[in-house]
Amino acid sequence: MSILSFKDIGKEVVRIERKTINKLEECIDDNFDRACQLIFDCKGKIIIIGIGKSGHIGRKISATLTSTGTPSFFVHPVEASHGDLGIICDQDIILAISNSGETPEILNLLPFFKKNKITLICITSNPYSSIGKHADIHLCIKILQEACPFGLVPTTSTTATLIIGDALSIAVLTARRFTKSDFAIYHPGGMIGKKLLLLVRDLMNIGNDIPHIQKNASLREALIEITNKKLGMIVICDSDMNIDGIFTDGDLRRVFNTNIDLNNAKIADLMTIGGIRITQNMLAIEALKLMQTMHITSLLVTEKNKLIGVLHMNNLLQTGFL
């Protein structure tokens, strides 16, 4: 089969699934609103159940809910009927996923849910399904066509179900006034955790690692300090670390294009007044954005104009931001 044929088939899959996705907004009705309110008010957990591909989608929806402030577990229906029902309490809500709405393994659990008065929400594509009839809320999605040639492989249906799950999660997240800070609490690891949790103070150079010198120093003395501290810059400040200016390797290159007597030059005559300053409590990712915007490689970390640290692009590189 040619590459062109593969491309054509891939594009046809996208077109088929898009048709259903474009109709999904019609499924966001009063039942969806009620489902969101129940999830928002839930004092227990959101227990998601499903078999096969619906189970895989259920696991993802459960993970999204959990990571955004709504405790959730996925329970396999077969395992549930062999003892795992013990994890479910009367304050929980069941979210059952079944494209046909006739999954036997889920139907077998309905008597337990009814006997224990456990709220049941379901997502199916069959408005007349058995699970839908027994559910407190039925979220019925219209699947126009599965993307496979036989109309059998769960493709469009799983995509649509995942979108409805995302819609539930984000609607409830918004109602909870969930913030970036809240999100960071549940994501301390990986790049997400770094972006949301790492502060400048966690990465900056401090103490003897700060390249600094006083105004009366010579250019030669400043260059020795720059070389020793290996940040390609030096901060000019007084004995109390009050900042006067900054001198970088870029400034040095520009000096070579002047008629300045390098042997007798004072750093005070060559420095750039000021310097871009930040606080130690700034998010490291925000400091990186500032560097990129200003086209610089270092920032001065200050507290009431006193130098307490230097954040260099290398600090961010070593942490894996770039």
This prediction has a pTM of 0.74
Q: Please say whether the beta carbons of 286 and 276 come within 8 A.
A: no
- Does residue 53 fall inside a structural domain? yes
Residue 3's pLDDT is what?
Answer: 60
When divided into structural domains, the chain yields a total of 2
Question: To which H or E segment does residue 302 belong?
Answer: strand 298-303
- Share above pLDDT 70 across residues of the chain, in percent, rounded to a whole number: 98
Q: Are residues 250 and 119 in the same domain?
A: no
Q: Are residues 16 and 114 in the same domain?
A: yes
Of residues 218, 266, 210, the one with CA closest to residue 243: 210
Q: Are residues 147 and 247 in the same domain?
A: no
- Does residue 263 fall inside a structural domain? yes
Find how far residue 250's CA is from the centre of its chain.
36
What does the DSSP 8-state code read for residue 62?
H
Q: Are residues 133 and 90 in the same domain?
A: yes
Q: Are residues 159 and 259 in the same domain?
A: no
Residue 190's pLDDT is what?
Answer: 72
- Does residue 106 fall inside a structural domain? yes
Residue 309's pLDDT is what?
Answer: 96
What is the residue range of 305's domain?
Answer: 200-319
- Does residue 186 fall inside a structural domain? no
Question: Tell me, what CATH number does 277's domain have?
Answer: 3.10.580.10
**Mode of pairing for the β-strands spanning 277-278 and 233-237:** unpaired
Q: Are residues 119 and 24 in the same domain?
A: yes
Residue 319's pLDDT is what?
Answer: 80
Question: Tell me, what CATH number does 153's domain have?
Answer: 3.40.50.10490
- Measured from the Cβ of residue 100, the count of other Cβ atoms closer than 10 Å reads 13
Q: Are residues 152 and 33 in the same domain?
A: yes
Residue 97's pLDDT is what?
Answer: 98
Residue 236's pLDDT is what?
Answer: 95
Residue 4's pLDDT is what?
Answer: 67
Show Cβ contacts of residue 159 under 8 Å, excluding neighbours closer than 6 positions. Answer: 17, 20, 21
Residue 179's pLDDT is what?
Answer: 85
- Does residue 6 fall inside a structural domain? no
Q: Which two tokens stand for residue 322?
A: 């770039």
Residues of the chain scoring pLDDT < 50? none
Is 76 labelled a binding residue?
yes
How far are the Cα atoms of 109, 221, 296 from residue 120, in angstroms, in the given order?
Answer: 11, 75, 56
Final residue in a domain of this structure, among 130, 146, 178 = 178
Residue 88's pLDDT is what?
Answer: 95
- Does residue 27 fall inside a structural domain? yes
Q: Are residues 168 and 219 in the same domain?
A: no
